[in-house]
Amino acid sequence: MPVSSPPSVDDIERAVSAIGARPLPLTPVFSSWILDQEADARLHFKMENFMRDVGAFKSRGALNALMNLSERDRAKGVVTHSSGNHGQALAWAAKKFGTRAYIVMPSNAKEIKKRGIREFGGNIIECEPTQCSREDICEQVRRETGALLVHPFNDDAVIAGQATAAWELMRMVPEQLDAIVVPVGGGGLISGTALAAHAFSPATEIIGAEPSGADDAYRSLQAGRIIKNETVNTIADGLRSNLGDKTFAIMRKHVDQILLVDDHEIAEAMRILGERLRAVVEPSGAVPYAAIRKYPDVFAGKRVGIILSGGNVDPDNIPFPRRHG
Amino acid sequence: MPVSSPPSVDDIERAVSAIGARPLPLTPVFSSWILDQEADARLHFKMENFMRDVGAFKSRGALNALMNLSERDRAKGVVTHSSGNHGQALAWAAKKFGTRAYIVMPSNAKEIKKRGIREFGGNIIECEPTQCSREDICEQVRRETGALLVHPFNDDAVIAGQATAAWELMRMVPEQLDAIVVPVGGGGLISGTALAAHAFSPATEIIGAEPSGADDAYRSLQAGRIIKNETVNTIADGLRSNLGDKTFAIMRKHVDQILLVDDHEIAEAMRILGERLRAVVEPSGAVPYAAIRKYPDVFAGKRVGIILSGGNVDPDNIPFPRRHG
């Protein structure tokens, strides 16, 4: 499949006004005097973990994907194979439009993930984890129901939707950013961020942050071709995907560097963000701040935007506070 | 000492514009579709835990107290005996004005509390916990340095400052609130809230929420006179104070009822706010939401404002995430 041209500035601006016209309130931008002092930098945190209901930037891409369908297509429903934040976001967006979302997930997925999807009225299609290819089941659902596939990241409308986070960030911060740091999983958020920055603030450096236990983007950009993870080993469960052809093409052109962090550094970043910003940030969301702490020389003296992408921590892993009584 | 008349609407409006003119950004108002469904109510959470740097509404009162001093008085510095959020807020506000803050605290206070005060350049005056009366030491500092006492709650300028939280809430929520629920410690926040609501939205019911292990406000309002806690036993460390004469006088007039919750309910509320709003809320801050969960009949069908007053949890008690590696 040839790679089509990436979303244009017009596409992003349409996404901004489409999403803004819906009641999707802006997520706030936080800063901290202490964290600035520690980093010797001015840090502007875009708090996507506070995205209403869904708790992650994924609402943006899902909403934009649905808005880019004709009414007739939308009525057929949508399908995806992500059981993470994208699955929840797609169920949420489908509900907004009064249409159906089918989320294909392995039967052994955690109950909390299923609950998140059910709460928004999503239809869960389970498959045996050992036997099924989730892509195949998606295709089957598509054929049987007519539902349209909304890929979690390798989709122009999704990428344009994710671009609105950085667009908001650049509008809300009263100074030009030297760099924006973004987590990298399948590459949807960083591609959108790169396109938005290229259009509105071309001097801003785009820096990806990736767990060293799923460093496919780091290796892919070095090799100049998509290299997949052979194994993944990281607490950042949202960043285990491999890149897609669309996202990789944008990243090659616009991403300046990828910084790697390990799980210990991610956990420490989560703790500090909890203490200093009073924010619950999931492991994947804390990866950019872990990179800022690990590579101080890259950021010293700079004005830095940081996208804290999500806040969905498995409650079993939020012993906060320790259960009392 | 006779009780002077409480802060007027003019005092509150002056506090609003004084605080707004300084760079004290609005704290956001959050809501959650799921939490609304669970409560069968429309819940608007005023996120004072996100108050920049200090992490609690106390910045408002401290800033307003300093702004209400003449330049000459301000130059003498300020003193207080609160080692909690008010102590930090006063140190922070004094730094803004380039003056000194003296915070009297017992020598066995937790290192984290001392750190918070030192970070903002506050001067800690330690006293032996068994021997000293903190009020006496305050008085001594006052005589020696000329610093002015800024009481944590029983002070008109502080009360008017705290009123700005509810004022912002009422302006930011696009519907009139049937009730506002506020935690009660010394009564500064609830007095300010009651005055603001009385002025701008007189039909709004003012409901206090208090830990049953420090239920002096509940008993005081029933008795019609200030009754002190004989013992306190609650994780809500910010709500252990007794009422002051100024705050009690306002509360008698304008507070409709006090609801009591126990520590287990407070801890559960913290956990749910972490999961659903992705917010770190300290025990004292979670008390109003605990009350909403405990007394559903009081709130069913209503539009409710909730002031989540702070987010400073002792990091030893934020095992979030569990330390990794």
The SS3 call for residue A277 is: coil
Do A275 and A23 meet the contact criterion of CB atoms below 8 Å apart? no
> Are B325 and A28 within 8 A, CB to CB?
no
Confidence (pLDDT) at B145: 93
Instruction: Tell me: pLDDT of A319 over 60.
Output: no
Which pLDDT band holds residue B109 (cuts at 50, 70, 90)? Answer: confident
Paired sense of beta strands A123-127 and A148-149, if any: unpaired
B122 touches chain A (CB under 8 A): no
CB atoms within 10 A of CB B264: 13
Alpha-carbon distance B241 to B251, whole Å?
A: 15
Encoded amino acid at A190, one letter? I
CB pairs under 8 A between A and B: 125
Confidence (pLDDT) at A11: 83
Do B82 and B152 meet the contact criterion of CB atoms below 8 Å apart? yes
> Which residues, in sequence order, are bridge partners of residue B79?
B102, B149
Alpha-carbon distance B61 to B3, whole Å?
A: 19
Q: Which of B28, B275, B324 sits opposite A315 (nearest CB)?
A: B275
Q: Find tokens 């109950």 and name the residue.
A: A111
A246 exposure class (CB count in 10 Å sphere: 0-12, 13-18, 19+): buried
Confidence (pLDDT) at A21: 54
Helix (H) or strand (E) holding A266: helix A263-276
Mean pLDDT value of segment A198-207: 95
Confidence (pLDDT) at A111: 82
- Which residues in B lie closer than 8 A to residue A53 (C-beta atoms)? 32-34
Alpha-carbon distance A284 to A70, whole Å?
A: 33
Mean pLDDT value of segment A235-248: 94
pLDDT tens readout for residues A25-65: 789 999 999 999 999 999 999 999 999 999 999 999 999 99
Alpha-carbon distance A292 to A40, whole Å?
A: 11
Q: Find tokens 């489908």 and name the residue.
A: A94
Q: Find tokens 């069968």 and name the residue.
A: B40
CA dihedral defined by A304, A308, A309, A313, rounded to 10 degrees?
160
Residues in chain A: 325
Residue A198 CB partners (closer than 8 Å, separation 6+)? A254
pLDDT tens readout for residues A120-154: 999 999 887 766 688 888 899 999 999 999 999 99
| Domains of chain B from N-terminus onward | 9-57+155-317 (3.40.50.1100), 58-149 (3.40.50.1100)
Mean pLDDT value of segment B121-130: 86
Alpha-carbon distance A190 to A248, whole Å?
A: 10
Distance from CA of A98 to the nearest CA of B (A): 16
- Which residues in B lie closer than 8 A to residue A55 (C-beta atoms)? 278
Q: Which of A30, A274, A320 sits opposite B271 (nearest CB)?
A: A320
Residue B301 CB partners (closer than 8 Å, separation 6+)? B40, B41
* Sheet order of strands, B257-261 included: B29-30, B42-47, B303-308, B179-183, B205-211, B257-261
- Which residues in B lie closer than 8 A to residue A271 (C-beta atoms)? 315, 318, 320-321, 323
Residue B209 carries which DSSP code?
Answer: E
Distance from CA of A107 to the nearest CA of B (A): 24
> Are A264 and B31 within 8 A, CB to CB?
no
Q: Which of B263, B281, B318 sits opposite A271 (nearest CB)?
A: B318
Alpha-carbon distance A127 to A235, whole Å?
A: 24
Determine phi and psi for A150, rounding to 5 degrees: -115, 100
Which of A117, A29, A68 lies closest to A306, judged by CA? Answer: A29
Q: Which of A271, A280, A319 sits opposite B278 (nearest CB)?
A: A280
B274 touches chain A (CB under 8 A): yes
Q: Find tokens 């016209």 and name the residue.
A: A21
As a whole number, the mean pLDDT across chain A is: 90
Both structure tokens of A315: 């409650």
Could you report the predicted ipTM of this complex, rounded to two decimals? 0.91
Paired sense of beta strands A148-149 and A179-183, if any: unpaired
Instruction: Tell me: pLDDT of A17 over 60.
Output: yes
A117 touches chain B (CB under 8 A): no
Alpha-carbon distance A114 to A123, whole Å?
A: 10
Q: Which residue of B has its CA nearest to A266?
A: B324
Q: Which residue of B has its CA nearest to A92?
A: B33
Q: Which among B31, B119, B278, B282 is the top mutation candidate for probing chain A, defined by the most A β-carbons within 10 Å of its own β-carbon? A: B278
